Amino acid sequence: MTRKLVVIGAGMASGRALEHLLETAPGAFEITLFNAEPRGNYNRIMLSPVLSGEKSFEEIVTHDDDWYATNNVRCRFGEKVLKVDRDRKVVVGEKGEVPYDTLIFGTGSAPFIIPLPGHDLPGVVAYRDLEDTNAMIDVSATPGAKAVVIGGGLLGLEAAAGLRLRGMDVTVLHIASHLMERQLDAAAGYLLKKDLEKRGINVILEASTEEIVGDGKVERVNLADGTVLDADIVVMAVGIRPAVTLARDSGLDCGRAIKVDAQMRTSDPDVYALGECVEFEGNLFGLVAPLYDQAKVLAATLTGTDAAFVMKELSTKLKVTGCDLFSAGDFAEGDGREDIVYRDPARGIYKRLVIEDDRLIGAVMYGDTGDANWFFGLIKDGTDVSDMRDTLIFGPAYQGGGSADPLSAVAALPLDAEICGCNGVCKGTIVDAIEGGATDLGALRAVTKASASCGTCTGLVEQLLEVSLGDAFEKPAAQPICTCCELSHEDVRRLIKSQELKSQEAVWQELGWKTVNGCHVCRPAVNFYLLADWPLDYHDDPQSRFVNERNHANIQKDGTYSVMPRMWGGMTTPEELIAIAEAAKKYDATVKVTGGQRIDLLGVKKEDLPAIWADLNGAGMVSGHAYTKGLRTVKTCVGSDWCRFGTQDSTGLGIQLEKRLWGSWTPHKVKLGVSGCPRNCAEATCKDVGIICVDSGYQVGVAGAAGMDVKETERLVDVTSEEAAIEWTVAFVQLYRENAKYLDRPYKWVAKVGLEWVKDVLSDEAERKALVERFDVSQSVYQTDPWAERADPEAARMFQPLADLSLKAAE
């Protein structure tokens, strides 16, 4: 006897289920198929090639009219199901009722639309069905049309790539700090972003969309930071929601989606569900592989065979031609988990394997995914990989064979093989130079220029030295930045400049970091190098800063903070003193006069910081940066204003210098002193920059210290005007910012590079002025009062605890 089967929804899951059913039990069912879209089954995941023009819609149809006709499937396409009456066992469509013995929900999911202002304007589309795809294709026909894609996940990026291939100007807005954050780690996300940008797709991360604007149709998208993007179409691809309204209204047990058991049965034994509309053991489904498994189980169940659905590992690939990306399993770090990371900066390749208990549990790869299926198999099968661990990352081709020796590879290179791409130096030239006596890297660089520019070939050049010299070669023991990386601080600085690396992810990837995102030693250093070199492109990262710089106050041993307002050149007023005193009383602070001519308020609680700053701001004071690797104080004496020996206005010069230099970030703290005469009451001769005023002008000294080491300044220059003294000081500070190793005070840095070199550079007037100009560009971004910035309620909220459960009972 034939059973009446009604299927609601002609998606990929239900389509596959019908195929299985008709194969194993042809004629057993009288099938009616409802679909809200006016067409039957097609391969929805191939909409991306349709959008990009690489395929036509006809090519992705899986079941055409003939198929339905041959298999006697009654199609009710374009007709919505109004309700399901389970008591009478009928499905009520817009054009009448259909009775069922067995019912299948394949209602899938609906795109999630963020209810931003303007989300309902014509021209805002989701990326879900052929209608959306066609709407995008239509808009792209207009020359110069602009698209904004909200969402940097799989779907959003496929939409963006498709629109770009159709010649549109495309911007992707993504709320997280890297693309596809659910599937990729930050390093792979960086490579993906770089690839997309190479294709001309603009990517804005951490984008907060405020509203979509337009008169009658979409015209613009406004971001919270004030950015305005013109748009002829806005694609929202931020996620999907299971379509469960119909099921819920018919009284089926639903959680986030329709609850099913391992046989895909709902709470009603005659009703089944599969695909994106189901919830199984708390899981929802968005990828196609488990949907096909569900289809198999459902068909088996309906034909009386035992089958059960089980959750499996999933993998992801991005269907953007030329973007090779693969992600599978669990790639988070964890206890007992070990990472094997392989980076090839020049080829844009990144592979990361996560191993736990000698088994591969996760893999992310970018740029070369040829072995992805093999790795995925190891994950799914839980294979013991301990025997092949050392060559695992090189893929199946290397299993069972010996590991390659890099030296023999270099030895085998022909003499005309190019080693240094920047300078066009081939192996023969280098070997000749070595035989001619250039037996270390420095000499080779000087003689041949090999590895002297971007430095990526340094390893190869060293191997050539090793091959040519054998045991006579001693690898230079440059102190690496930390254990995350083999490069020295100086190399990292040089490579950031020469390779124009402008983000932390770029540094980790291109310079071969061995950890996922650095450590507490290298991150603050890299953060500083990036902002010093690219003040306009790079954004300071608070999470790579030591607590004092993140909270803009000095942490003390009991976890309280100290607060210190600026006193320009050590000057203050009765009004400021009253405000400081009142703040000290209000926040119960201890008052201390510091060695840098300022007043320190000690013992302030973290959550009180924004409030005490607001009070001090209100009296006209700004942060004294007593906590930064930046300008601290400019100590002065009273100079010619009051002192009978004072030769120049040392207080005024100190104030001018402090106003010019405050707020700048430097490799370490910087302190200045200006004394009005050689009696040196401001102790200027043990500062990073110390100026002694004399009758004939100003003696500028640098590289003094009065900390761990005590050291007198060395004379940099004598000048006759305040302007010249300021210009030399600013240029010196900028030279230090651009060249020194992070956490080297100026005296240490000058000892390394030599005062003569510093003098030579700064004596060149053009170079001196250029340094000053670069300093001022940086100040245009960074000279802001951090106290005032954190006075707004949203910023201040971050200083409060996330939650306070102390008043609740702890049980």
Partner 1 sequence: MSWIDIGALADVPVRGARLVRTAKGCVAVFRTDEATVFATADACPHKGGPLSEGIVHGQKVTCPLHNRVFDLNTGRAQGGDSEQVATYRLRVEEGRILLDTTALSRRTAA
Cβ contacts of residue 577 below 8 Å, gap of 6+? none
**From the list 343, 523, 598, 790, which residue makes contact with partner 1 (rule: CB under 8 A)?**
523
What is the DSSP pairing of strand 271-273 with strand 278-279? unpaired
Q: Which of 511, 508, 589 is nearest to 554 (CA)?
A: 589
Which position among 24, 71, 227, 517 is part of the footprint of partner 1 (CB under 8 A)? 517
> SS3 of 199, please?
coil
Q: Does 181 bind partner 1 (CB under 8 A)?
A: yes
Q: How far is the CB of 85 from partner 1 (least distance, A)?
A: 32
Q: Given the complex with partner 1, which of 627 and 732 has the nearer CB atom? A: 627
Sheet holding 689-694, edge to edge: 631-636, 670-675, 689-694, 697-702, 714-719
Residue 698's beta-bridge partner residues? 693, 719
**From edge to edge, which strands make up the β-sheet containing 209-213?**
209-213, 220-223, 228-230
Out of 3, 83, 95, 182, point to the residue binding partner 1 (CB under 8 A). 182
Tokens of 568: 């320009």
Q: What is the 3-state secondary structure (H, E, C) of 526-559?
A: HHHHHHHHCCCCCCCCHHHCCHHHHHCCEECCCC
793 interacts with partner 1 by CB under 8 A: no
Number of other residues whose CB lies within 10 A of the CB of residue 95: 10
Q: How far is the CB of 520 from partner 1 (least distance, A)?
A: 4
Q: Crossing angle of helices 609-618/574-586, nearest 10°?
A: 160
- Report the nearest approach of partner 1 to the CB of residue 247 (Å): 20
Task: Tell me the residue length of the chain.
Answer: 811
**Shortest gap between Cβ of 762 and partner 1 (angstroms)?**
35
Question: What is the DSSP track for 340-395?
Answer: EEEEEGGGTEEEEEEEETTEEEEEEEES--TTHHHHHHHHHHT-B-GGGGGGGGG-
Nearer to partner 1, 164 or 489 (CB): 489
The window from 28-36, 135-143, 517-525, 573-581 that contacts partner 1 (CB under 8 A) reads 517-525
d(CA 701, CA 686): 9
Nearer to partner 1, 168 or 355 (CB): 355
* β-strands 209-213, 202-204 pairing: unpaired
Q: Which of residues 316-345 bind partner 1 (CB under 8 A)?
A: 332-335
Binding segment for partner 1 (CB under 8 A), chosen from 119-127, 273-281, 316-324, 515-523, is 515-523
Part in contact with partner 1 (CB under 8 A); list of ranges 42-50, 172-180, 355-363, 695-703 = 172-180
Query: Looking at 51-59, 83-91, 593-601, 803-811, which segment touches partner 1 (CB under 8 A)?
Result: 803-811
Q: Which stretch binds partner 1 (CB under 8 A): 344-352, 371-379, 539-547, 646-654?
A: 539-547
Given 171, 458, 544, 778, the residue binding partner 1 (CB under 8 A): 544
- Please select the residue that binds partner 1; options are 99, 377, 542, 620, rule is CB under 8 A: 542
> To 10 degrees, the CA torsion angle through 691, 693, 696, 702?
-10
695 touches partner 1 by CB under 8 A: no
Residue 555 in contact with partner 1, rule: CB under 8 A: yes
- Which of residues 28, 385, 388, 519 is near partner 1 by CB under 8 A? 519
* Sole binder of partner 1 in the list 86, 550, 605, 748 (CB under 8 A): 550
Minimum separation from the CB atom of position 341 to partner 1 (A):
11
332 or 397, CB closer to partner 1? 332
Query: Does residue 177 bind partner 1 (CB under 8 A)?
Result: yes
For residue 435, count other CB atoms closer than 10 A to its CB. Answer: 11
Q: Which of 559, 593, 710, 766 binds partner 1 (CB under 8 A)?
A: 559
The β-bridge relationship of strands 202-204 and 169-173 is parallel
Phi, psi of 146 (to 5 degrees): -115, 140
Task: Output the smallest distance, CB 551 to partner 1, in A.
Answer: 7
* Contacts to partner 1 by CB under 8 A: 176-178, 181-182, 185-186, 332-335, 515-520, 523-524, 542-547, 550-551, 555, 557-559, 798, 801-811
